[in-house]
Structure 1
């Protein structure tokens, strides 16, 4: 179908937008010059870059995919969801290939259990914020693997056993005499350990930079976790950690979440030029959005201004590390809410506790790890 476009109207349209010489383009460039010397933080799915301004080279801090222990902790976090998913697969396709998947999970769990030890966590994984907790982490992993092995072995021996009900009763929920620590608590523990390490490293890094937070620009760029997650301030765990690290000094308006922004490649120590190359585009993005927002005061003086919601996170408040109803409720909510990052269930809680305790991980009580009755191993349901 032919579409008519009036040249006169097109000229009027492009007078305001569509090119650097348009009025809108000039406003963006003027705003970009205004903020050219301000520090700019850009967080991707795996790295943080600080662009100091005035053309200085960025500094990079890896915080997720390139950090120690990410796959090890995540592998243990997945044990509960893996069993629940297996039961769902079997329910949907009882005669399908679920036994092969169960066998693979069982073999991988046994191999992990054999490789696990305090020495692995202390000497090889070597996460600074875990110092002193390596024996407890190893005991937790051994126990989690043992529970998973036992459940899988029974399911393979008797397929009728594999149901959502038995996954909840015999693996996820508790505690009980047969299940002294349920896998739900281990999921909280691994998420908390990840959040504690993330928060500790980023708070340490930011504190060392001595940023003027009131003037700092922040962009969280690209995809964070599953495709629908992390697109709001309350659902983005990185935003929460940055806010905590600023001790409340970062203005809300200075932090932008930009899922469609370009993402620099994961930093490997040799590609600083690739990170630097995107600075102009990031500054233009932040400045253009900020300039448009600032028109509100000029155009609508006397009308109510936008204020971010002050109701707090949509996740339940946590009264403390023993508040298991709230902690477990968060697991369900982050799973069901497509906006949430799964690993962000307790990251905000860990970051706040770090700030309240001088960024000292040793002062924190890790829910699901500290003070839990982990036996050294489990054989046929009996601790030994």
Structure 2
């Protein structure tokens, strides 16, 4: 027979914490009502929603997947992974690796044939990429052509899928049969381009909002990438962007990462009643986490307090063998740190993939007044890609 706690004890338990009218719930509601004018920012995996307080309508922005160029540039970036993944499938004896390779070859040729400057300049039309359209066209043409050619040769000579050969001649580009531009550089470039756009638009939107950063409440809600990713300040892509946008006025203790909190669709907020319900829900969620934090200071002021700290990122050099946090990229030429970040986001399940390219873009945009034309992009600014056939 399954154990059941005594009902008298359960009622005692519920009176403090779990019943709808419990002491704890009442405090959370009271705090929420007392601070209904306090601004609240909700960040999901794709959107930012600012509830200014006082029943005023929210402001919103989409900063990721719904934006122009994200899927295009990410699809090309993935080609740097696709060949090693096919090599591993072959090692493991997967019967379909050759069919997968042929399908990828065919699609690379389709994209290569379609790719042109006009598409990137007039259709995708990303503000942060303005002036880079010809070079992006060349990057895409080169990556698709090189992927297709490499796999066509590998189907005839599978030794090209040996990882030592692949690393030297495709990824690092220091082997005797190296491709013209190493795919490590291409992946650094595509990550940087995606981050440049997302960070630039997010900073622009945040700077346009009349935010009282010292009072701002923040909830990072729901999933962003892998289920295990982005659960700490250091591994979440949004936290450092908000911190820099605030000129470091945002109190890290007022930011809560809540992976199981419900997310909100921007379209739903057009309905005033649905919007009010969403705001009320997020305010309750924030105080459900923070009411105990506030009470602890009142109860135990003479004992050591918890301080939410933003740790400094490590620096890597030629002697660095292991890192336990995302390393900082110090310059556009800091290739060891740039590629280490690519490895880190794949190796640490807690890391969001997008963070691989964001730090250096954020640092530069923050330093130059959010002007993307002044940003140096790894694997792109000082890298020449062969001219595409369909410029």
Measure the CA separation in 1 of the matches of 2:352 and 2:284. Answer: 28
The match for 1:345 is 356
**Counterparts of 1:286 and 1:105, CA distance in 2:** 46
Using structure 2 for the length normalisation, give the TM-score. 0.92
Q: Distance in 1 between matches of 2:276 and 2:158?
A: 55
Query: Counterparts of 1:332 and 1:362 in 2: how far apart (Å)?
Result: 28
* Cα distance change on mapping 1:62 and 1:303 into 2, 3 Å: same
Contact in 2 for aligned 1:196/1:347 (Cα 8 Å)? yes
Query: Aligned in 2, Cα 1:235/1:2: closer, same or farther, shift over 3 Å?
Result: closer
- Spell out the pairing of 1:82-231 with structure 2 (5 A cutoff): 82-94=82-94, 96-174=95-173, 178-231=178-231
**In the TM superposition, what whole-angstrom CA distance separates every residue of 1:33-52 from its partner, at most 9, and x where no partner exists?**
12211111111121111111
Report the equivalent of 1:316: 327
Q: Mark the CA change 1:272 to 1:46 in structure 2 (over 3 Å): closer, same or farther.
A: farther
CA distance in 2 between partners of 1:184 and 1:196 (Å) = 18
Report the CA distance between 1:23 and its aligned residue.
Answer: 0.9
User: In structure 2, do the counterparts of structure 1 residues 47 and 272 end up closer, same or farther at CA, with 3 Å as the change threshold?
Assistant: farther
Given that 1:354 and 1:361 are in contact with CA atoms closer than 8 Å, whether structure 2 keeps it comes out as yes
Q: Are the equivalent residues in 2 in contact too, given 1:265–1:274 (CA < 8 A)?
A: no
Does 174-183 or 288-297 show the bigger shift? Answer: 174-183
Alignment-derived partner of residue 37 in structure 1: 37
What is the alpha-carbon distance in structure 1 between the residues aligned to residue 271 and residue 237 of structure 2? 26
Secondary structure of 1:54's counterpart equals: coil
For residues 4-19 of structure 1, the aligned pairs below 5 Å read: 4-19=4-19
Instruction: Give the TM-score normalised by the residue count of structure 1.
Output: 0.93
State the shift of 1:377 in Å.
4.8
What's 2:365 paired with?
A: 354
Question: How many positions carry a matched residue from both structures?
Answer: 377
Alpha-carbon distance between aligned partners in 2 of 1:254 and 1:51, rounded to the nearest angstrom: 15
Structure 1, unmatched stretches of 5+, are 379-384
1:323-338 equivalence runs, <5 A: 323-338=334-349
Which residue of structure 2 lines up, in the alignment, with residue 381 of structure 1? none
Distance 1:319 1:21 in 2: 53
Alignment of 1:213-252 (within 5 A): 213-252=213-252
The residue aligned with 1:300 is 300
SS of residue paired to 2:354: helix
